[in-house]
Amino acid sequence: MPEGERPGSDARAAATVGGMAALTAAAGYALHGIPNVEVMTLMAFAGGWLTGAGGGAAVGVLGMTIYTFINPYGAAVPLLAAAQIASMGFVGVCGGLWGGRGEAGPRRPSALGLGALGVGLTFVYDLTTNVAIGVSFSQLIPTLVAGIPFALIHIGSNALVFAVAGPYLIRGLAAAGLCSQGRISS
């Protein structure tokens, strides 16, 4: 066991990744009836903030895999499923990198910073998944053009979700003792 590491910390980290992945999947189901409004991206991001980049990748990939293949609307076509899963894994990695320790310690959540991250991450997700749909059906340009209004709604709603709920979620995880300013408590 590495010096300074407590017994059971690997099990705690694995349980935290599993729990956050389950919450990410559940978040996908929570608002599935409202087109282009979701909290799944924020949950995957928070999972990364809580567990680091590697754990965040696992949270995003596992959460989206569950949601993609057990979806109320049916399973996605293979290329779209891969794009959804990879994109949500990227969101988790970004949460881990954003929450990482800098010279002054872990970053504190701010509404403006989280809102901007919500815009950027949702843009990447929408572009990646729309390209996957367009390629899957040999209709790339029409798919990208038709997807613009839906992407704008998705990006705008995630900007609000990240800015309004994000700081409370991350501070709540820390206050619940699940982490110490950005990482799992050992």
Chain segment 76-124, per-residue pLDDT in tens: 999 999 999 999 999 999 999 988 754 444 566 789 999 999 999 999 9
* pTM greater than the 0.75 cutoff: yes
Residue type, position 39, single letter: V
Of 95, 108, 64, 107, the C-alpha closest to 82 is: 64
Containing domain of residue 110, as a range? 9-175
Tokens of 158: 């995630």
Is residue 88 in a domain?
yes
| Beta-bridge partners for 106 | 101
The stretch 138-155 carries a mean pLDDT of 97
Is residue 2 in a domain?
no
Is residue 185 in a domain?
no
Element (H, E) at 79: helix 78-98
pLDDT value of residue 8: 56
Is residue 182 in a domain?
no
Q: Is 101 helix (H, G, I), strand (E, B) or coil?
A: strand
Q: What is the CATH number of the domain that holds 118?
A: 1.10.1760.20
Q: pLDDT by residue (tens digit) across 35-55?
A: 999 999 999 999 999 889 999
pLDDT value of residue 12: 83
Instruction: Report whether pLDDT(143) > 90.
Output: yes
Instruction: Report whether pLDDT(170) > 60.
Output: yes
Instruction: Report whether pLDDT(162) > 60.
Output: yes
Is residue 4 in a domain?
no
Q: Is 179 helix (H, G, I), strand (E, B) or coil?
A: strand
Q: How confident is the model at residue 152 (pLDDT cuts 50, 70, 90)?
A: very high
Is residue 130 in a domain?
yes
Is residue 151 in a domain?
yes
Is residue 142 in a domain?
yes
**Based on the structure, what is the number of domains in the chain?**
1
pLDDT value of residue 173: 80
Tokens of 55: 């754990």
